[in-house]
């Protein structure tokens, strides 16, 4: 019984340690996921306009944008600033890496795929919970959201 308790305790510590975003200051030059450069990066606003115009469903490229928010639980998603107060959601490819919370407010270059996506109510509520929203704010989410989604292979902090 004692061995079982110790094993569960150690496993619990391991899970707790893994449930934290990576440590770090997210300084200019830091990269996460695949190592990338900022060469040929395009402002995210330009790509969003093309996607909203219906010219294409998704585009593989490098985009540059300011980070608005980072998942405070694991660093497993972030949002990027768009015009008119909108945001674009970023998820890491294959859940393969995470971003420190310190990246909030920084400008990054992301190499990946930018696409239009409809996010379900359940997923929106999950993100709201991760972001520390109140129960009332979470309960107020009633409709799916059409949004811009970036699937990142690599992220480079540039400013």
pLDDT band, residue 49 (cuts 50/70/90): confident
Q: What is the pLDDT of residue 10?
A: 52
Is the CB of residue 89 less than 8 Å from the CB of residue 149?
A: yes
Q: H-type helices in the chain, by residue range? A: 2-18, 44-52, 121-130, 135-139
Q: When comparing pLDDT for 75 and 57, which is higher?
A: 75
Q: What's 111's domain CATH number?
A: 2.40.50
pLDDT, tens only, 8-27: 455 554 544 455 667 778 89
Q: Which residues of 62-84 are buried (b: 16+ CB within 10 A; e: fewer)?
A: bbbbebbbbbebbbbbbbbbbee
> Residue 81: which domain range?
2-157
Query: How many separate domains does the chain show?
Result: 1
Q: What is the DSSP letter of 104?
A: T
pLDDT band, residue 103 (cuts 50/70/90): very high
Q: What is the pLDDT of residue 12?
A: 52
pLDDT, tens only, 120-151: 999 999 988 888 889 999 999 999 988 889 99
Interstrand relation of 145-157 and 107-119 (parallel, antiparallel or unpaired): antiparallel
pLDDT exceeds 90 at position 62: yes
The pTM assigned to this predicted structure is 0.78
């Amino acid at each position: 019984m004692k061995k079982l308790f110790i094993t569960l305790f150690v496993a619990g510590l391991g899970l707790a340690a893994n449930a934290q975003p990576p440590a770090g200051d997210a300084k200019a030059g830091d990269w996460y996921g695949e190592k990338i450069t900022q060469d040929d990066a395009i402002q995210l606003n330009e790509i969003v306009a093309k996607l909203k115009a219906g010219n294409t469903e998704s585009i593989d490229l490098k985009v540059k944008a300011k980070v608005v928010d980072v998942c405070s639980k694991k660093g497993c998603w972030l949002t990027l600033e768009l015009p008119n107060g909108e945001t674009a959601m970023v998820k890491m490819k294959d859940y393969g890496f995470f971003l420190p919370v310190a990246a909030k407010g920084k400008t990054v270059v992301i190499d990946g795929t930018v696409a239009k996506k409809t996010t379900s109510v359940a997923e929106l509520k999950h993100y709201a919970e991760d972001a520390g929203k109140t129960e009332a704010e979470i309960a107020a989410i009633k409709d799916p959201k059409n949004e811009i989604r970036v699937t990142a292979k690599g992220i480079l902090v540039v400013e």
